[in-house]
Structure formats: C-alpha cells, structure tokens
Amino acid sequence: MSSGPAMLATMAVVVLFSGIVQGYLTPLLPELGLRLHIGSVGQNNIYLLSQLAFAVMTPLLSRLGDLYGHRRLLRVALAMVTGGSLLMAGWPSAATLAVGVVLQGALVGFFPLLVGILRSNAPERNRTGISLLVGVLLISIGVGGLVAGVLSERHAAAGLWVAVPVAVLAVVAGLLLPDSDAARGGRFHFGAAALLTAGLVALVLVLAQGSAWGWASPLTLGTCAGAVVVLAAWVAVERGSAHPLVSVRMLSNRRLAVVSGYTFCAAFATIGFLGANALFLGASPSQAGYGLGMGPQTIATVSLAMVIAGFVGSTLTPRLARRVDDRAVLALGGALIALGFLGLILFHDTLAEYLAAVLVVGLATGLFESITRTLAAEIVDEQETALAVGLNELALSLGAAIGAAVIGAFFAAHAVRGTAYIGISGYLWSWGACACVGVLGAALALCYRSHRTAGTRAAAGRQSDHTAPSGGLA
C-alpha cells in the first residue's frame, strides 16, 4: 500500500467522502428548515458556521500534519467528519446541524494531508494522482447532491444518511494508508494559531454577512478593520517566532504567491457563481423574463454535467503539462474561464447555449483545481507540503466566498422593485465580473516562472519530488 494504484484507490475513497459531504447538505437545507423549524436566518447561520470551520481548520490541520504526521492527522480529521455526519443523520435538529457542520469542517484537511502522504510515498505519481483525486472530488460533489435530493423527496432528513456509509469506508481507508516519511520537528505555536483563527473568523464573517449588514455599515467596516489588525499582528508574531505556525518565508515565495493568487481568481469565478447558476436555471421565463424554468432534479443534473466536465479537465491536466509548461496550463485555465462567462453573456436564451457555456466553465474548474494543487505541493520542501496545499485550499475558499459576495452585491443592486426577481442585468454584470477575473487569472499565470522549459524537461522528468526544481514534473 506504500505506492501504486492501490494507494491511490484508497485515497480516492477518502476524497469521495469529502465530496459527498460537501455536496449533500446545501440542497437539503430548505426542506430541512421547514421540518426542523429553522428559518432563513438559521439556515444562513448553518452555512456561515461551515465556512468559518473551513477557514479556521485549513491551516491548523495542515500545519499539525506537517509537525506530527500526515496519516495521524488524517485519521483525526476523518473521525471528526464521520462523527459530525452521524450526529446530523441520527439526531437531526438545529443544534446538531450546527455542531455537525463544524465537525465536518475538518474535511478541508483531507486533501493537503493526502498530498503529503502521496508525495512522500509515490512522488512519481504526484501529478497523475492529484489529477485523479481532484476528478473524484468533483464527481462526488455532484453525485452527493443528486442522491441526497432523491432520498429527501419523501422525507427531508433521509438525505442526511447519504454520507454515513461512505464515512465507514473512508475510515477504513484511513487505517490502511501509509504514513509519510517527511522530516518533522518544531512546536505548535498556540499564540499564532489564536491570532490566525480570530483574523480568519472576522474576515469570513465580513464576506458572509456583509450584504446583510450593509457593506458600508459600521459593523461591516469595523469587523473588516479588526480582521486586518489581527492578521497583521499574526504576521508580526510569526516573523519573531522560532517555531512559526506558518512560515512567513513560505508566504513570500513568489511562485506560491502567484499560484495562490491564481487559485483565488479561478475560485472567485467558477465556484462563486454556482449559487447564481442554480437561480438562473430555476427562474421562470414567463415570470422573470429569463431563465430555463428547471426543477431541483434537473438543476442537479446540469450541475452533475458540469462536474463531469471538471473530471475531464482534471484528468487531462497531466497530459497537457507534459506537452507544454505549467505556465501555459495555468493560462489556459484562466482563458477558458473568461471564454465560458463571455459565452453566458452572449448566449443564454436556450438550454443548449447555456449548457455549452457552463460546460466550458466546468472544464476550467477541473483544470485549475488540479494544476494549482499540484504546483502548491511541488513548490516547497517536502516537510511543508501539507501546509502549502492547505494555503492554496484557503485561497480557494476565500476566492469562492468573495466571488459569491460580489455576485450577491450585483444582485442586490439590480433587484426588480416589488418582486422577488433579479433583473437580467444583475446576471450580465455578474458574468462580466467573472470573465474579467478569469482574464486576471490568465495574466497572473503569465507571471509564473516554470522550470519545465524545453531544455530541462528531460532532466526534470528524471528527478523525484525531493530534488526536482519547484514547478517541475513530479
């Protein structure tokens, strides 16, 4: 199990669990809210709790994995997510949903910790392995939502059981995986962890609640200022620490900064727009003047088609990287994002037109999620692998949150008075913003310095992850 297809298959089971958990709850919340007497504010608070848990646990689990062992922390994270899933399914209530989504937030550690194990035990499979795991993740997110929706048609809480049997398989997989042999050392900096947690909580609160509080309100501006001050204090503490939680040197790594910035832009567009995508698909043309009038199951089917396109993009990424350098692959992802949203602006009146555009977005999603996670792992030393991938995951989460917030602001500015509908101009501005951010991502990609030039490909291909130049083929 230390290398080869068996290890990748075992990792895929863990990633399958992660995708199911990420995809199954959101479609259930409206019906669960009615059954459990949770209003719109309560449902939004459950979503907010999950976002806070994601932001806080991403750097903490990643750093603890680099310090104390990737397999050990993976098992802890699996236990937390399994416990949360079982709690929600067995005793559904407002309180258990709140506690459950916080425990499920530990799933953000799965991917960084798995990549740490993969890079240590099978560096020659790093790129193909990551692309496979990203593909499984995307497919399972779509399937999780679809299956949960079917199960909950007669009883809303039935869909909560979707994650439980997969959780059992994932726990077994976690017991079978080998540990990484990366060098360990140092201590966990609790003061830095407290500052980082407080800063991220304040930042996510602003992103999630800004539209409700008012973006120019004293509460929003004060919370935003507080986040900046606390995060600045965290950086100062890290600079003076002999055992930093997150190496500031890593944050100043130019290539890691470019990859993280690119991830932010790509997530802003491709993930930030998913809520708007469902709203457009469900809008009735006779009432709103636009939309495709789809029901929940049809919308879920379209979403599944998008993640299948993402799976194709993810599996194609290693082949593209072998033919061209990493910078070209990154730029292609940004260009596809811009092309897909430009297509939505120009062609959105029929299902065929809309589907063609969103499938391009789905293809770009798989490509960017695969290449950025791969590069984040290769850019740093092996003992910092999980943390670097974790920082990339954090950039993804923040990009998606800010993208959704910006789109929400466009919707609020273009709401049709006296109705519950958004003017088509709100969608056009949103799609335009996503296209522009895609172009920005492509421009950032051109700043990435890839070592896989024509003269060095052969040498890079012979080197392992331990010795290959950052950005080289693993």
- Sign of the CA dihedral with 320 first, then 137, 307, and 5 last: positive
Residue 265 and residue 404 in one domain: yes
Q: Name the nearest CA neighbour of 313 among 327, 332, 298.
A: 332
Tell me which of 244, 267, 290 is where a domain ends. Answer: 244
- What is the amino acid identity at position 241? S
Q: Tell whether 384 and 407 lie within a shared domain.
A: yes
C-alpha triplet 109, 110, 114: angle, nearest 5°: 115
Report the distance separating Cα 175 and Cα 170, nearest Å.
Answer: 9
CA–CA distance, 30 with 95 (Å, rounded to integer): 16
Task: Note whether 292 and 318 are same-domain residues.
Answer: yes
Q: Which domain holds residue 429?
A: 249-474
Domains: count for the chain: 3
Token pair belonging to 383: 């003992």
> Is 374 found in the same domain as 458?
yes
Q: What is the residue-level pLDDT of the chain in tens, covering all 474 positions?
A: 555 788 888 999 999 999 899 888 776 766 777 677 776 556 656 776 777 788 788 888 887 887 788 888 999 999 999 999 999 888 988 888 889 988 998 998 888 888 888 887 877 777 888 888 888 888 888 888 778 777 776 777 777 888 899 999 999 998 988 877 665 556 777 788 888 888 888 887 887 777 778 888 899 999 999 999 998 998 888 787 777 777 666 767 888 889 999 999 999 999 888 878 878 888 888 888 888 888 766 777 888 889 899 999 999 998 898 888 899 999 999 999 999 999 999 999 899 999 999 999 999 999 999 999 889 888 877 777 777 888 888 888 888 888 887 887 888 788 887 776 788 999 999 999 999 999 999 999 999 887 543 333 333 343 433 333 333 222
* Exposure string over 187-218, b if 16+ CB within 10 A, otherwise e: eebeebbebbbbbbbbbbbbbbbbbebeeeee
Residues 308 and 343 in one domain: yes
Do 176 and 218 reside in the same domain of the chain? no
Q: Which residues contact 228 (CB under 8 A, 6 or more apart)?
A: none
Same-domain pairing of 344 and 371? yes
The CATH code of the domain that includes 313 is 1.20.1250.20
Residues 356 and 448 in one domain: yes
**Whether residues 278 and 361 fall in one domain:** yes
Contact 437, 265 (CB under 8 A): yes
